[in-house]
Chains A and B, each alone.
Chain A
Protein backbone atom coordinates (compact mmCIF):
# COMPACT_ATOMS: atom_id res chain seq x y z
CA UNK A 1 0.00 0.00 0.00
CA UNK A 2 1.54 3.31 -1.00
CA UNK A 3 1.41 6.57 1.01
CA UNK A 4 -1.42 8.07 -1.06
CA UNK A 5 -3.63 5.10 -0.35
CA UNK A 6 -2.95 5.42 3.39
CA UNK A 7 -3.78 9.13 3.26
CA UNK A 8 -7.07 8.47 1.47
CA UNK A 9 -8.00 5.79 4.00
CA UNK A 10 -7.37 8.14 6.92
CA UNK A 11 -9.20 11.04 5.31
CA UNK A 12 -12.29 12.14 7.19
CA UNK A 13 -14.94 14.66 6.25
CA UNK A 14 -16.41 17.52 8.19
CA UNK A 15 -19.55 19.53 7.54
CA UNK A 16 -18.72 23.21 7.25
CA UNK A 17 -21.62 25.67 7.62
CA UNK A 18 -20.57 29.06 6.32
CA UNK A 19 -22.50 32.27 6.90
CA UNK A 20 -23.26 34.04 3.64
CA UNK A 21 -24.31 37.66 3.29
CA UNK A 22 -23.47 40.35 0.78
CA UNK A 23 -23.92 43.87 2.06
CA UNK A 24 -24.05 45.17 -1.51
CA UNK A 25 -27.08 43.04 -2.30
CA UNK A 26 -30.26 42.96 -0.24
CA UNK A 27 -30.56 39.21 -0.59
CA UNK A 28 -30.52 38.57 3.16
CA UNK A 29 -28.33 36.05 4.91
CA UNK A 30 -28.17 32.28 4.87
CA UNK A 31 -25.75 29.43 5.58
CA UNK A 32 -24.13 27.30 2.91
CA UNK A 33 -23.07 23.78 3.82
CA UNK A 34 -19.96 22.06 2.46
CA UNK A 35 -18.48 18.61 3.01
CA UNK A 36 -14.75 19.11 3.40
CA UNK A 37 -12.04 16.45 3.81
CA UNK A 38 -9.65 17.04 6.68
CA UNK A 39 -6.70 15.52 8.49
CA UNK A 40 -5.68 15.97 12.10
CA UNK A 41 -3.60 19.04 11.30
CA UNK A 42 -6.21 20.77 9.10
CA UNK A 43 -7.27 24.17 10.43
CA UNK A 44 -10.61 25.85 9.88
CA UNK A 45 -8.87 28.31 7.56
CA UNK A 46 -7.47 25.41 5.52
CA UNK A 47 -11.00 24.01 5.22
CA UNK A 48 -12.41 27.36 4.15
CA UNK A 49 -9.66 27.78 1.57
CA UNK A 50 -10.45 24.26 0.30
CA UNK A 51 -14.07 25.37 -0.13
CA UNK A 52 -12.92 28.50 -1.92
CA UNK A 53 -10.57 26.57 -4.23
CA UNK A 54 -12.71 23.56 -5.14
CA UNK A 55 -16.36 24.21 -4.23
CA UNK A 56 -17.40 27.86 -4.13
CA UNK A 57 -14.89 30.59 -5.04
CA UNK A 58 -17.35 33.31 -4.01
CA UNK A 59 -16.90 32.64 -0.27
CA UNK A 60 -15.30 35.79 1.18
CA UNK A 61 -12.59 35.35 3.84
CA UNK A 62 -9.88 37.68 5.10
CA UNK A 63 -6.57 36.01 5.91
CA UNK A 64 -2.86 36.55 5.51
CA UNK A 65 -0.13 34.92 7.62
CA UNK A 66 -1.80 31.58 8.53
CA UNK A 67 0.22 31.48 11.76
CA UNK A 68 -1.75 33.64 14.26
CA UNK A 69 0.47 36.65 13.77
CA UNK A 70 -1.54 39.00 11.59
CA UNK A 71 -4.96 38.66 13.25
CA UNK A 72 -6.83 38.80 9.94
CA UNK A 73 -8.83 35.58 10.02
CA UNK A 74 -10.89 36.20 13.18
CA UNK A 75 -14.38 34.72 13.00
CA UNK A 76 -16.92 32.98 15.19
CA UNK A 77 -16.30 29.25 15.04
CA UNK A 78 -19.17 27.33 16.61
CA UNK A 79 -20.25 30.59 18.26
CA UNK A 80 -16.89 31.45 19.83
CA UNK A 81 -14.57 34.14 18.43
CA UNK A 82 -11.38 32.39 17.26
CA UNK A 83 -8.64 32.73 14.69
CA UNK A 84 -9.44 30.31 11.86
CA UNK A 85 -5.75 29.66 11.21
CA UNK A 86 -5.17 28.78 14.86
CA UNK A 87 -8.14 26.43 15.28
CA UNK A 88 -7.72 22.82 14.25
CA UNK A 89 -10.83 20.97 13.13
CA UNK A 90 -9.77 17.87 15.05
CA UNK A 91 -9.59 19.85 18.31
CA UNK A 92 -13.17 21.09 18.00
CA UNK A 93 -14.47 17.51 18.26
CA UNK A 94 -17.68 18.32 16.39
CA UNK A 95 -19.06 16.81 13.19
CA UNK A 96 -20.35 20.22 12.06
CA UNK A 97 -18.42 23.46 12.21
CA UNK A 98 -20.27 26.73 11.89
CA UNK A 99 -18.30 29.74 10.67
CA UNK A 100 -19.84 33.16 11.19
CA UNK A 101 -18.51 36.72 11.05
CA UNK A 102 -17.38 38.37 14.29
CA UNK A 103 -20.11 39.96 16.41
CA UNK A 104 -20.01 43.72 17.08
CA UNK A 105 -18.50 44.38 13.66
CA UNK A 106 -20.49 45.44 10.57
CA UNK A 107 -20.49 42.71 7.93
CA UNK A 108 -19.04 43.57 4.55
CA UNK A 109 -19.48 40.17 2.97
CA UNK A 110 -19.71 36.60 4.30
CA UNK A 111 -16.97 36.27 6.94
CA UNK A 112 -15.34 39.64 6.23
CA UNK A 113 -16.16 42.41 8.67
CA UNK A 114 -15.42 46.13 8.81
CA UNK A 115 -12.77 47.11 11.36
CA UNK A 116 -13.05 50.92 10.95
CA UNK A 117 -14.64 51.59 14.30
CA UNK A 118 -12.33 49.14 16.06
CA UNK A 119 -9.22 50.81 14.64
CA UNK A 120 -10.62 54.28 15.37
CA UNK A 121 -10.96 53.29 19.02
CA UNK A 122 -7.40 51.97 18.92
CA UNK A 123 -6.12 55.23 17.40
CA UNK A 124 -8.00 57.34 19.94
CA UNK A 125 -5.85 55.72 22.67
CA UNK A 126 -2.71 57.29 21.13
CA UNK A 127 -0.94 53.92 20.99
CA UNK A 128 2.63 55.15 20.73
CA UNK A 129 5.41 56.29 23.06
CA UNK A 130 5.16 59.97 23.97
CA UNK A 131 8.05 61.82 25.56
CA UNK A 132 8.40 65.35 26.87
CA UNK A 133 12.06 65.61 26.02
CA UNK A 134 12.82 67.82 23.02
CA UNK A 135 16.19 66.13 22.54
CA UNK A 136 14.31 63.13 21.19
CA UNK A 137 13.41 65.08 18.08
CA UNK A 138 16.87 66.66 17.76
CA UNK A 139 18.75 64.18 15.61
CA UNK A 140 21.89 66.35 15.63
CA UNK A 141 22.40 65.36 19.26
CA UNK A 142 22.64 61.71 18.39
CA UNK A 143 20.37 58.75 18.80
CA UNK A 144 19.13 57.63 22.19
CA UNK A 145 18.06 54.30 23.54
CA UNK A 146 15.84 53.82 26.55
CA UNK A 147 17.05 51.74 29.43
CA UNK A 148 14.40 49.44 30.90
CA UNK A 149 14.92 46.78 33.50
CA UNK A 150 13.25 43.36 33.03
CA UNK A 151 10.82 44.40 35.80
CA UNK A 152 9.86 47.50 33.81
CA UNK A 153 9.21 45.39 30.73
CA UNK A 154 7.20 42.80 32.66
CA UNK A 155 4.63 45.45 33.57
CA UNK A 156 3.41 45.80 30.00
CA UNK A 157 4.95 42.91 28.03
CA UNK A 158 1.88 40.69 27.76
CA UNK A 159 -0.22 43.61 26.50
CA UNK A 160 2.28 44.28 23.71
CA UNK A 161 1.50 40.83 22.26
CA UNK A 162 -1.86 42.12 21.00
CA UNK A 163 -2.26 41.56 17.24
CA UNK A 164 -5.46 43.63 16.82
CA UNK A 165 -7.47 40.62 15.72
CA UNK A 166 -10.67 41.97 17.26
CA UNK A 167 -11.71 38.73 19.01
CA UNK A 168 -11.93 40.44 22.41
CA UNK A 169 -13.95 43.29 20.89
CA UNK A 170 -16.32 40.74 19.39
CA UNK A 171 -16.72 38.88 22.69
CA UNK A 172 -17.28 42.01 24.79
CA UNK A 173 -20.90 42.32 25.98
CA UNK A 174 -20.53 46.06 26.63
CA UNK A 175 -19.49 46.75 23.04
CA UNK A 176 -22.64 44.88 22.02
CA UNK A 177 -24.80 47.61 23.54
CA UNK A 178 -22.50 50.64 23.58
CA UNK A 179 -20.52 51.20 20.38
CA UNK A 180 -18.82 54.27 21.89
CA UNK A 181 -17.17 52.03 24.48
CA UNK A 182 -13.55 51.67 23.33
CA UNK A 183 -13.53 47.94 23.97
CA UNK A 184 -11.02 45.68 25.72
CA UNK A 185 -8.33 45.90 23.05
CA UNK A 186 -8.10 49.69 23.10
CA UNK A 187 -8.27 49.90 26.90
CA UNK A 188 -5.61 47.22 27.33
CA UNK A 189 -3.40 49.16 24.91
CA UNK A 190 -3.97 52.28 26.95
CA UNK A 191 -2.65 50.42 29.98
CA UNK A 192 0.23 49.03 27.91
CA UNK A 193 1.50 52.57 27.18
CA UNK A 194 0.54 53.92 30.60
CA UNK A 195 2.71 51.25 32.26
CA UNK A 196 5.61 51.73 29.86
CA UNK A 197 8.40 53.70 31.55
CA UNK A 198 9.42 55.22 28.20
CA UNK A 199 6.05 56.98 27.93
CA UNK A 200 5.73 60.33 29.70
CA UNK A 201 2.24 61.39 28.63
CA UNK A 202 0.16 62.86 31.46
CA UNK A 203 -3.12 62.63 29.58
CA UNK A 204 -3.50 58.88 29.19
CA UNK A 205 -5.96 58.43 32.05
CA UNK A 206 -8.06 61.38 30.86
CA UNK A 207 -8.57 59.75 27.46
CA UNK A 208 -10.48 56.84 28.96
CA UNK A 209 -12.16 58.79 31.79
CA UNK A 210 -15.37 59.33 29.88
CA UNK A 211 -19.06 58.47 30.11
CA UNK A 212 -18.44 55.71 27.60
CA UNK A 213 -14.92 55.03 28.77
CA UNK A 214 -13.24 52.53 31.03
CA UNK A 215 -15.96 52.60 33.71
CA UNK A 216 -18.48 50.93 31.43
CA UNK A 217 -16.58 47.64 31.56
CA UNK A 218 -18.75 45.02 33.31
CA UNK A 219 -15.78 42.77 33.94
CA UNK A 220 -17.39 39.82 32.16
CA UNK A 221 -13.89 38.58 31.38
CA UNK A 222 -14.84 37.13 27.98
CA UNK A 223 -12.17 39.27 26.31
CA UNK A 224 -9.40 37.49 28.20
CA UNK A 225 -10.96 34.09 27.54
CA UNK A 226 -10.95 34.42 23.74
CA UNK A 227 -7.57 36.14 23.25
CA UNK A 228 -5.42 33.86 21.03
CA UNK A 229 -2.17 35.49 22.20
CA UNK A 230 -2.68 35.02 25.93
CA UNK A 231 -3.23 38.71 26.62
CA UNK A 232 -5.49 39.51 29.58
CA UNK A 233 -7.29 42.72 28.58
CA UNK A 234 -9.60 42.50 31.61
CA UNK A 235 -6.53 42.67 33.85
CA UNK A 236 -5.27 45.75 32.03
CA UNK A 237 -8.63 47.45 32.47
CA UNK A 238 -8.76 46.68 36.18
CA UNK A 239 -5.17 47.86 36.69
CA UNK A 240 -5.95 51.10 34.90
CA UNK A 241 -9.06 51.55 37.05
CA UNK A 242 -7.07 51.02 40.22
CA UNK A 243 -4.78 53.90 39.23
CA UNK A 244 -7.77 56.11 38.47
CA UNK A 245 -9.40 55.31 41.81
CA UNK A 246 -6.15 56.00 43.65
CA UNK A 247 -5.89 52.41 44.94
CA UNK A 248 -2.61 51.97 43.06
CA UNK A 249 -0.04 54.72 43.18
CA UNK A 250 1.56 55.73 39.93
CA UNK A 251 5.23 55.61 40.90
CA UNK A 252 6.49 55.20 37.37
CA UNK A 253 10.07 56.44 36.98
CA UNK A 254 10.77 57.54 33.40
CA UNK A 255 13.27 55.31 31.63
CA UNK A 256 16.85 56.54 31.42
CA UNK A 257 18.03 57.61 28.01
CA UNK A 258 21.33 56.23 26.85
CA UNK A 259 23.16 57.54 23.83
CA UNK A 260 23.86 54.86 21.28
CA UNK A 261 27.62 55.70 21.35
CA UNK A 262 27.70 54.69 25.01
CA UNK A 263 27.26 58.00 26.83
CA UNK A 264 24.33 58.16 29.17
CA UNK A 265 21.89 61.06 29.27
CA UNK A 266 19.70 60.75 32.30
CA UNK A 267 16.73 63.03 31.98
CA UNK A 268 15.69 62.10 35.47
CA UNK A 269 18.57 63.72 37.27
CA UNK A 270 19.93 60.37 38.47
CA UNK A 271 23.57 59.34 38.20
CA UNK A 272 24.84 58.61 34.74
CA UNK A 273 26.30 55.22 33.99
Chain B
Protein backbone atom coordinates (compact mmCIF):
# COMPACT_ATOMS: atom_id res chain seq x y z
CA UNK B 1 0.00 0.00 0.00
CA UNK B 2 1.43 3.32 -1.05
CA UNK B 3 1.20 5.61 1.95
CA UNK B 4 2.19 8.59 -0.18
CA UNK B 5 -1.02 8.34 -2.16
CA UNK B 6 -2.83 9.43 1.01
CA UNK B 7 -1.57 12.97 0.54
CA UNK B 8 -4.01 13.49 -2.28
CA UNK B 9 -7.03 12.01 -0.50
CA UNK B 10 -9.15 14.97 0.49
CA UNK B 11 -12.46 13.20 0.12
CA UNK B 12 -13.80 10.84 2.71
CA UNK B 13 -11.97 7.55 2.40
CA UNK B 14 -14.84 5.41 3.56
CA UNK B 15 -15.96 2.93 0.93
CA UNK B 16 -19.66 2.17 1.06
CA UNK B 17 -20.13 -1.57 0.91
CA UNK B 18 -23.42 -2.96 -0.29
CA UNK B 19 -23.66 -6.47 1.05
CA UNK B 20 -26.46 -8.92 1.78
CA UNK B 21 -25.46 -9.17 5.44
CA UNK B 22 -24.11 -6.39 7.60
CA UNK B 23 -20.62 -6.98 8.94
CA UNK B 24 -22.06 -7.11 12.47
CA UNK B 25 -24.42 -9.92 11.43
CA UNK B 26 -21.54 -11.82 9.82
CA UNK B 27 -19.48 -11.40 12.98
CA UNK B 28 -22.36 -12.62 15.15
CA UNK B 29 -22.45 -15.78 13.03
CA UNK B 30 -18.65 -15.97 13.31
CA UNK B 31 -18.66 -15.81 17.12
CA UNK B 32 -21.64 -18.15 17.53
CA UNK B 33 -20.16 -20.80 15.21
CA UNK B 34 -16.80 -20.49 16.98
CA UNK B 35 -18.26 -21.01 20.45
CA UNK B 36 -20.60 -23.77 19.27
CA UNK B 37 -17.71 -25.56 17.54
CA UNK B 38 -15.79 -25.74 20.84
CA UNK B 39 -18.66 -27.61 22.50
CA UNK B 40 -19.34 -29.94 19.57
CA UNK B 41 -15.65 -30.80 19.10
CA UNK B 42 -15.38 -31.44 22.86
CA UNK B 43 -18.36 -33.80 22.60
CA UNK B 44 -16.74 -35.50 19.62
CA UNK B 45 -13.47 -36.03 21.53
CA UNK B 46 -15.33 -37.35 24.57
CA UNK B 47 -17.17 -39.87 22.40
CA UNK B 48 -13.82 -41.01 21.05
CA UNK B 49 -12.49 -41.50 24.60
CA UNK B 50 -15.14 -44.06 25.62
CA UNK B 51 -13.04 -46.73 23.91
CA UNK B 52 -9.25 -47.28 23.86
CA UNK B 53 -7.45 -45.07 21.34
CA UNK B 54 -6.33 -47.97 19.08
CA UNK B 55 -9.83 -49.33 18.92
CA UNK B 56 -11.21 -45.91 18.01
CA UNK B 57 -9.08 -45.97 14.84
CA UNK B 58 -10.25 -49.39 13.64
CA UNK B 59 -12.14 -49.45 10.37
CA UNK B 60 -15.14 -51.31 11.74
CA UNK B 61 -15.47 -48.96 14.68
CA UNK B 62 -15.37 -45.88 12.44
CA UNK B 63 -17.95 -47.30 10.03
CA UNK B 64 -20.11 -48.24 13.00
CA UNK B 65 -19.90 -44.65 14.21
CA UNK B 66 -21.09 -43.42 10.84
CA UNK B 67 -24.17 -45.61 11.28
CA UNK B 68 -24.91 -43.94 14.62
CA UNK B 69 -27.28 -41.08 13.85
CA UNK B 70 -26.22 -39.01 16.90
CA UNK B 71 -22.56 -39.30 15.91
CA UNK B 72 -23.46 -38.41 12.33
CA UNK B 73 -25.28 -35.29 13.50
CA UNK B 74 -22.26 -34.26 15.59
CA UNK B 75 -19.92 -34.79 12.64
CA UNK B 76 -22.15 -32.77 10.34
CA UNK B 77 -22.38 -30.00 12.94
CA UNK B 78 -18.59 -29.90 13.26
CA UNK B 79 -18.27 -29.75 9.49
CA UNK B 80 -20.71 -26.86 9.10
CA UNK B 81 -19.56 -24.87 12.16
CA UNK B 82 -15.84 -25.15 11.45
CA UNK B 83 -16.31 -24.41 7.75
CA UNK B 84 -18.39 -21.28 8.34
CA UNK B 85 -16.12 -20.03 11.12
CA UNK B 86 -12.87 -20.92 9.39
CA UNK B 87 -13.65 -19.57 5.94
CA UNK B 88 -15.02 -16.33 7.37
CA UNK B 89 -11.78 -16.04 9.34
CA UNK B 90 -9.80 -16.46 6.12
CA UNK B 91 -12.04 -13.84 4.46
CA UNK B 92 -11.31 -11.37 7.26
CA UNK B 93 -7.55 -11.92 7.01
CA UNK B 94 -7.58 -11.53 3.22
CA UNK B 95 -9.68 -8.35 3.40
CA UNK B 96 -6.90 -6.72 5.40
CA UNK B 97 -4.21 -7.58 2.88
CA UNK B 98 -5.54 -5.39 0.07
CA UNK B 99 -8.24 -2.77 -0.14
CA UNK B 100 -10.18 -2.59 -3.37
CA UNK B 101 -13.75 -3.40 -4.31
CA UNK B 102 -12.69 -6.06 -6.86
CA UNK B 103 -10.43 -7.82 -4.32
CA UNK B 104 -13.09 -7.76 -1.61
CA UNK B 105 -15.75 -9.17 -3.90
CA UNK B 106 -13.39 -11.84 -5.20
CA UNK B 107 -12.36 -12.86 -1.68
CA UNK B 108 -15.99 -13.06 -0.57
CA UNK B 109 -17.07 -15.16 -3.57
CA UNK B 110 -14.08 -17.52 -3.34
CA UNK B 111 -14.39 -18.12 0.41
CA UNK B 112 -18.15 -18.70 0.25
CA UNK B 113 -17.69 -21.05 -2.72
CA UNK B 114 -14.94 -22.97 -0.92
CA UNK B 115 -17.08 -23.18 2.21
CA UNK B 116 -20.06 -24.55 0.30
CA UNK B 117 -17.79 -26.95 -1.60
CA UNK B 118 -16.20 -28.30 1.57
CA UNK B 119 -19.53 -28.73 3.34
CA UNK B 120 -21.00 -30.48 0.28
CA UNK B 121 -18.02 -32.86 -0.04
CA UNK B 122 -17.96 -33.61 3.70
CA UNK B 123 -21.70 -34.23 3.77
CA UNK B 124 -21.36 -36.56 0.79
CA UNK B 125 -18.69 -38.55 2.67
CA UNK B 126 -20.91 -38.82 5.75
CA UNK B 127 -23.89 -39.94 3.67
CA UNK B 128 -21.84 -42.54 1.74
CA UNK B 129 -20.31 -43.93 4.96
CA UNK B 130 -23.69 -44.02 6.57
CA UNK B 131 -24.95 -46.13 3.67
CA UNK B 132 -28.03 -44.04 3.04
Give residues in A with beta carbon < 8 Å to B: 23, 104-108, 114, 116-117, 120-121, 123-124, 174, 177-182, 205, 207, 209-213, 215-216, 244-246
Contacts and interface: CB of A to CB of B under 8 A. Distances in A.
Contact of A245 (B7, B13, B24): B24
21 contacts: A106-B4, A107-B3, A108-B7, A116-B10, A117-B13, A120-B9, A120-B12, A121-B14, A123-B12, A124-B13, A178-B99, A179-B1, A205-B24, A209-B22, A209-B23, A209-B24, A212-B95, A215-B24, A215-B92, A216-B92, A216-B96
A211 B104 contact: yes
A116 B95 contact: no
B6 interface: yes
Contacts of B126: none
A106 B15 contact: no
B11 interface: yes
Contacts of B96: 174, 177-178, 181, 216
Contacts of B99: 178-180, 212
Interface residues of B, number: 27
Residue with the greatest number of chain A CB neighbours at <10 A, chosen from B4, B6, B104: B6
B6 A244 contact: no
Interface string B25-50: 00110010000000000000000000
A123 B1 CA distance: 22
B7 A120 contact: no
B97 interface: yes
A245 B97 contact: no
Contacts of B104: 211
In this complex, the member of A107, A108, A211, A244 whose beta carbon has the largest number of chain B beta carbons within 10 angstroms is A211
Given A121-B13, A211-B15, 16 more contacts: A23-B4, A104-B3, A106-B6, A107-B3, A116-B9, A117-B6, A120-B12, A120-B13, A178-B99, A179-B99, A180-B15, A210-B23, A212-B15, A212-B95, A215-B23, A245-B24
B3 A106 contact: yes
A105 B3 contact: yes
A136 to B, nearest CB: 25
B13 A213 contact: no
B26 to A, nearest CB: 8
